[in-house]
Amino acid sequence: MLLTKYTHACVRLEKDGKVLVIDPGTFSESAEALAGADAVLVTHEHNDHLDRPALLSALRSNTALEVHAPAGVAAALRDDTDVAARVHVAEPGSDFQAAGFSVRTFGGQHAVIHAQIPVVANIGYLVDENVFHPGDSFVVPDGIDVKTLLVPIHAPWSKVGEVVDFVISVRAPRAFPVHDALLNELGRGIVEGHVTRIGALYGTSYERLAPRDSVKV
């Protein structure tokens, strides 16, 4: 399948003429990523992962588009009755098909930012037993050999050591960055240097992707 990275947390997966988009958020080129999409997976409700106006616009203009999201996100999108039937709740520990892609879900909770900031639901998605997008968490899929890991390399809820430990724990052969829009080049170089060097000791090859870069996975 072809994986295209967009700014921050959004990726687009293409296979056999079908398109699956994960986390088209407000930091990303959401309208571009959603063009011609058959299905969308949303990890959680934060705006950097969900551009609600862009997603609703895509749902209205493309009557074949389906969305899978945590219950709270799904409920908010279903307020628009014209699209409600095509918005589905994604529960932790479930399996489903989305536009010809097999999807398994993991986790259920966003990483803690601060004790005074409420924790929201977060679903990690494993697509075709290959690509794992954890959303805003470091949940490790149990009993699964992930082939392609999308690594949140910088966030208000993480530190560099946790990023490295996540890569070590998953031990996917390949890893690419997500959740990187708040990094400048100096900060990116520090984080990616550690992930590249230490990840390699545990069998993970890390590669930077710029927005709109594509790679076969």
Q: What DSSP letter does each residue of 52-94 carry, written as one string?
A: HHHHHHHHHH-TT-EEEE-HHHHHHHTTSTTTGGGEEEPPTT-
Structural domain including 25 reads 2-216
For residue 159, the model assigns a pLDDT of: 96
Q: Which 3 state secondary structure label does DSSP give 111?
A: coil
For residue 81, the model assigns a pLDDT of: 85
Q: Report CA Rg, the chain.
A: 16
pLDDT (average), residues 3-14: 98
Pairing of strands 121-127, 101-109: antiparallel
Could you tell me the CA-to-CA distances from 60 to 77, 87, 160, 186 in Å, in that order?
Answer: 12, 12, 40, 41
Tokens of 143: 């009993």
Bridge partners (DSSP) of residue 18 are 15
pLDDT of residue 156 exceeding 90: yes
What is the CATH number for 166?
3.60.15.10
Contact 6, 211 (CB under 8 A): yes
Count how many domains the chain has: 1
Q: What is the tens place of the pLDDT at every residue in 168-189?
A: 999 999 999 999 999 999 999 9
Average pLDDT in the chain: 97
Contacts of 141 by beta carbon, 8 Å cutoff, 6+ apart:
104, 106, 124, 126, 132, 170
CA distance 120 to 44: 7
